[in-house]
Structure 1
Amino acid sequence: MMAAPVKMRIVFGDDNAEKLTIESGMPKSVEDLSNEIKRQFDIEGDIRLQYMDSDFDNNFVNLNQISDIQDKSTVKVISLSDVSQGCLNQSCEDTSSSSDTIILSSPDSVTARSQWPTEFKIPTFPYDVEMQLQSANQAFMSSRVFLNPSHKLKSDILESLAAQIIRFKAYPSNLEIESVAEALIKAHPCLREQGSSSGYYGWKISLKYKMANYRTKLRNLGCPEMRINSLKNKPADKCQPAHNIKKPRKAEVNFCPPYPAGETLDSLEGERVSLLSEVQKRHNNAVIKEKMAKTFAYRRQEVVRDQPMIAEFKTRWPGLFTVPEVEAEFMRITTVPLVTTFFAQLDNHADQLQRLLKKTGGSKGKKIKLAFAPTAQNETVEKKRECLLRALCIYLNEDPSSLFKEYLDSDGCAAQRDLDHVVFGIYSINVEGGDATTIPADVGIVIEGVGVLHDLGDLSSACALLMGVIYAVNLSYPQELKTFFEVLQKIFLQLDATRLSTKVQMLKNKLYE
């Protein structure tokens, strides 16, 4: 019997949704549904699907199994790569949701980067190289004869690999270089080294040197990410090559991108000045969004190169310090949706994490129990998330009071005096006489004594947006909260999730028990 057709509402943005009809019935997997959406709406590139989860007040969470949806469900599409044609590029450009699509300063540029892949794909080499490798692979399969590549052949292979690596990172880690070398001998077993236990140690070392030479080549061509590390851009009293290397340290994809094609320093400065007047106008989000995307590379180079103070930077770029633009900037830098990813992973681990935290004994256990006490009066999702984050901080032997600052609305002047001296924190202004069910009068983020965001609603949302601010202005994590923020980055935002400190690795192991 032929399956009945199914219909779904496909959301591409706040004001953009389409009807999807699948005549053959419900797809067998999430991947099949993704392919059908891409086919019907002419979408290119990778996408992620989310569905409305009734357990979380119909908020969107990632769709991991097809059984979570049914006929007439609502499914949201999030682009994970640059989109050149089709619905996401044409009909979504007027939406106000800055976290749904990746907005780069130069979306069609070949210099736009992507997150490091789970499995590195070896590129197609030049025609003459592919011919030699094909012949050598056949000889290896038939008679187990290894290839001893000539100097030119090895150089051509390394050059192609470096060109592929630079699409993801200019400064790959040791493990990432190793993953490329391992992928190379898997794709071309004739290149395996007989003298090394792994079979690729020599390729790994050669690739490290090649990447260093490739960065020098790009720096001479004017690549901003490498140019800022040249000797002439270092302090006169500290002119060593290794001094203060400015490079991605928190899995940033577009750390210091080049200007968009056709744009110059003067033209982008003109756009920045124009933005100062645009942010004063009401109902002007579309124009601000467009100009912020256009000036991303200019703003990013300023942040990385000059490391301005927050007060100065906020004066120059007031349009950045809104919730939509912080989310959009994070997306441009990392290609990962900020709030949806953060809450999806936090909620996914919530039950196991809560069980783990409540097992803790001693004085730490007592503090964790107090951190969870408000949930007895207020069982909302927001309060549970907030208490979970506070308790997690305690579990990691870090003090939540160094991050979360609480004040009463009746003592506004004293609160402001205190916040003027806070270097890094999230504040909440609580209603005097209220209890755990009372909504705070204000929740916000303060950096270097400057309020950068306010009216955030709850502390868990503020935590997510604080990560966005950290990336947007290229801040380091405070030393006293370093492990807590590593968990937020690597477990909840899944950025650089394979390189964990010992403490965070132990936590992750327990979450998956």
Structure 2
Amino acid sequence: MAATLRVILGVDNSSKLMLPSGIPGSVDILKEEIQRQFGLTEDFRLQYRDVEFDNEYMNLTTTGDIEDKSTIKVIYTNLNSAPSTVPTTAPTAASRETLPQFDAPSFPDTDILSSSDSSASCSSLRLRKWPLNFPIPKFSFDVEFQLHRAQQEYENNGILLDPSPKLKSDILDMLASEIAKYKVYPSSGDIDDVAKALIQKYPFLKETGSVTGCEGWKVSLKYKMANYRTTLRNIGCPEVAINTLQHKREREMSPRRNNVKKPRKAEVNFLPQYPAGETKKSLEEERQALLIEVKKTNNDQIIKTKMDKTFAHRRREVIEEMPFIAEFKSRWPALFKVPEINAEFTRITTVPLLSTFMSSLDQYSDQLMKILRKKGGETARRITAALSAISQSSRIEVKRECILKAVIIYLNENPENLIKEYMAFNVMEAEELKRMDLGVYKGRRSLQMKEHSLMTPLKMLASLSRDAPSCRIFTMWRAGVHFCLG
């Protein structure tokens, strides 16, 4: 069902947000839709009017707090930021008479990853994934002057600009620098996004004889990024320095050699630099101190701070040394705790693992159930039995559990290989759970008969000689472990 929201973007600035598919299942998806429709490029959070507190604005943590015709407010994380958008229309006649106003230069998204307590957290960590609408940066004064003059000529006479080699090189240099804020190895699709955003903002840069108007820009950007990586490699940027000839020769002599090391699609912080003032030796000392802290109880915050601080050291160990899982677990036991799997996944991808998985599962649950019910035969009977509990309870946890079980059955697997249900006081069943490599347990209190479902890894990848359960479903915990271990 379609929905409409009123979005306050700033002082005396509000717009209507159209949602043809209804209100999204998560705040992250809603933010992406706001970014897409309004072209926002800054970091922001959302607030909504809470009727329980006289319609005062409260932080929006779940989309269940808003409904059709609700009002939400955009709060920019950087107080010095002003809402900016990627213009899609030509400037007005009044604007043609004056030179463009030049904003202060934008800086990479290199804020501290977690809390201010973690001052040792690496300042080079990226906090954003690749944007839906790539923000074209502000160019230098002379480049902006030439583009403004070309814009006037295009508006008056419809003449496209044939940029000089110097102007084109300056534009490409700035675009390459902006791309590197997100990734140094952009894919062909990423390059395509940048080229399209460029000619959308500056339509007079379209190329004659090109189907898309930007084929030449795409080719030039690919070569420019290769040259830019050479520059970064020469100054010691870890993400590209790892692929130097020296490192390649070392890997060729190693029994565990590999080809060019690049971030995978979702990896934002692939191989960050060490935090300011830290070295490999100092971070190794932090790791050894972390081994002591793990043995203490009620010590989660200290562990989190030290894990944030040693993130770059840990990533280099994963990428460069490629240790076996058993060896890596003995060196970093804190990483195999549930909170740290979530935290490490967020450090690498900037995406929260648990909420993203759950919101996506909720978003596609109806479509999944339609697909599941099309199955026939004995499988259909088992799926129907797995989904039967949905009609007996309105709790979202029950629905999630049933759908996960049904998907496992749909893939011709046994859900008991992943999900176990047991009585909390049954010692024998508890001992059986300890032998599982990875799973979801569901405890049931016998007196009140209240069910408590909780997804958690039971014993993750403890030995190389034993495989994880055969379920092919892409559960969030396996995704988290795979990303954290490279």
Normalised TM-score (structure 2): 0.69
Q: Please tell me whether residue 469 in structure 1 is matched to residue 481 in structure 2.
A: yes
Mark the runs of 5 or more structure 1 residues left unpaired by the alignment: 1-27, 37-43, 53-58, 86-98, 452-458, 475-513
Q: Answer yes or no: is the 8 Å Cα contact 1:81–1:114 preserved in 2.
A: no
Q: Is the 8 A contact 1:84 1:108 kept in 2?
A: no
Asked whether the 8 Å contact 2:137–2:178 carries over to 1, the reply is: yes
Q: Report the CA distance between 1:392 and its aligned residue.
A: 2.8
Alignment partner, residue 6 of structure 2: 29
Task: Check whether the contact 2:286–2:310 (CA below 8 A) recurs between aligned residues.
Answer: yes
Q: Which residue of the partner structure matches residue 61 of structure 1?
A: 62
**Quick one: distance in 1 between partners of 2:299 and 2:228?**
43
Determine which of 321, 346, 359 is the counterpart of 2:336: 321
Instruction: Structure 2: give runs of 5+ residues left out of the alignment.
Output: 15-41, 51-59, 82-112, 465-470
Report SS of the residue matched to 2:62: strand
Change beyond 3 A, Cα 1:430–1:109:
closer
Instruction: Output the CA distance in 1 between the equivalents of 2:333 and 2:348.
Output: 18
Cα offset, 1:294, TM superposition: 1.1
Structure 2: distance between partners of 1:442 and 1:114: 27
Counterpart Cα distance in 2 of 1:139 and 1:375: 64
Structure 1 residues 199, 380: closer, same or farther in 2, change over 3 A?
same
* Residue of 247, 261, 272 corresponding to 2:287: 272
Letter in structure 2 aligned against 1:444: P
Over aligned residue pairs, what C-alpha RMSD do you find?
A: 4.4
Match of 2:264 among 231, 244, 249: 249
Alignment of 1:361-376 (within 5 A): 361-362=376-377, 364-373=379-388, 375=390
**2:44 maps to 1:46:** yes
1:193 to 207, 219, 222: 207
CA contact (8 A) 1:29 1:65 kept: no
Q: Secondary structure at the match of 2:348?
A: helix
Give 1:201 shift: 0.5
Task: Please state if 1:444 is matched with 2:457.
Answer: yes
CA distance in 1: counterparts of 2:337 and 2:459, whole angstroms: 13
Give SS of 1:169's match: coil
398, 403, 426: which one aligns with 2:439: 426
**Deviation of the 1:149 alpha carbon:** 1.7
Trace 1:48-197 onto structure 2 (pairs within 5 A). 48=46, 61-62=62-63, 65=66, 109=123, 112-197=126-211
- Which residue does the alignment assign to 2:33? none
CA distance in 1, matches of 2:128, 2:390: 40
Q: How does 1:451-462 map to 2 (within 5 A)?
A: none
The 1-side partners of 2:76 and 2:332 are apart by 27
In the alignment of these two chains, the number of paired residues is 400
Residue 280 of structure 1 and its aligned partner are, at CA, apart by 2.0
| Per-residue Cα deviation, 1:337-382 (whole angstroms, up to 9, x for no partner) | 2222322232233234323422433555344324324556776432
8 Å CA contact retained: 1:50, 1:61: no
Distance in 2 between residues matched to 1:370 and 1:216, nearest whole Å: 59
Distance in structure 2 (CA, Å) of the matches to 1:252 and 1:275:
25
Contact 1:45 1:81 in 2 (8 A): yes
Equivalent in the alignment of 1:507: none
Q: Is the 8 A contact 2:434 2:458 kept in 1?
A: no
Structure 1 position 194, deviation (Å): 0.2
- Does structure 1 conserve the Cα–Cα contact (< 8 Å) formed by 2:114 and 2:308? no
Q: Which whole-Å deviations, capped at 9, do the CAs of 1:8-67 have from their partners, x for residues lacking one?
A: xxxxxxxxxxxxxxxxxxxx735469999xxxxxxx941245999xxxxxx952368465
- Matched AA of 2:45: I
Distance of 1:68 and 1:316 partners within structure 2? 53
Describe the SS at the equivalent of 2:364: helix
Q: Distance in 2 between matches of 1:362 and 1:175?
A: 42
Q: Measure how far apart 1:231 and its partner are.
A: 3.0
1:276-315 → structure 2 map (5 Å cutoff): 276-315=291-330
Please tell me the residue identity of whatever aligns with 1:137. Answer: Q
Counterpart position of 2:228: 214
Equivalent-residue separation in structure 1 for 2:239 and 2:393 (angstroms): 48
Q: In structure 2, how many angstroms separate the alpha carbons of the residues matched to 1:198 and 1:103?
A: 49
